[in-house]
Amino acid sequence: MPRSEKIWLTLSFGIIMGFMLIVGYQAFALELGPPSHKETIDPQKVDETAPFDNPGVFQTGDNEYEVVMVLQAFSYTPHEIEVPAGAKVTFTLTTKDVIHGFQIARTNVNAMVVPGHIQKITQTFKEPGEYLVLCNEYCGIGHQIMGTTITVK
């Protein structure tokens, strides 16, 4: 085998090992992973399980809110959401049936909501306005109509 080929092989193998070590270190030593895997729920008992037995917008602190939301084909409950501008809003989400998406247009919020899991995502809306929420996981025949809005005042 020519010397140049040996160098290439060693280099590419070394780079792959390096990447695997970094990913492994992040996953196991730093415990970086999807946060939704920390809390689970029986997807057939969402209506009876707190906090999802009472979906809505709740003030949890001085300038903090929690939105408890249930997703199902093809709607978001509650449908009307209003929060003040500048408040820290934590969305606590779950789904009763299949995988749905929770994407808020013009923000970095883009979550996958998986049956059996509780998804939490926090956002501060600086600008008042109407924010469009869209499902971006194909969930059935009415997927394209699955959406809602968040009013920030």
For the CB of residue 135, give the shortest distance to ligand CUA in the complex, in Å. Answer: 3
Q: 75 and 146 in contact (C-beta within 8 Å)?
A: yes
Nearer to ligand CUA, 58 or 74 (CB): 74
Judged by CB, which is closer to ligand CUA: 35, or 142?
142
Quick check: 107 and 127 in contact, CB under 8 A?
Answer: no
Give least dist CB 69 to ligand CUA, A: 13
Shortest distance, CB of residue 17 to ligand CUA, whole angstroms? Answer: 40
Block residue for tokens 């059935």: 140
Closer to ligand CUA by Cβ: residue 87 or 112: 112
Q: Which is nearer to ligand CUA, 95 or 123 (CB)?
A: 95
Rounded to the nearest 5 degrees, what angle is found at the Cα of 125, between the Cα atoms of 122 and 129? 140
Name the amino acid, one letter, at 3. Answer: R
The least CB distance from residue 141 to ligand CUA, in Å, is 10
- CA 47/CA 105 separation, integer angstroms: 28
Determine how many CB atoms are found less than 10 A away from the CB of residue 86: 12
Q: Which residues bind to ligand CUA, rule: CB under 6 A?
A: 74, 100, 135, 137-139, 143, 146
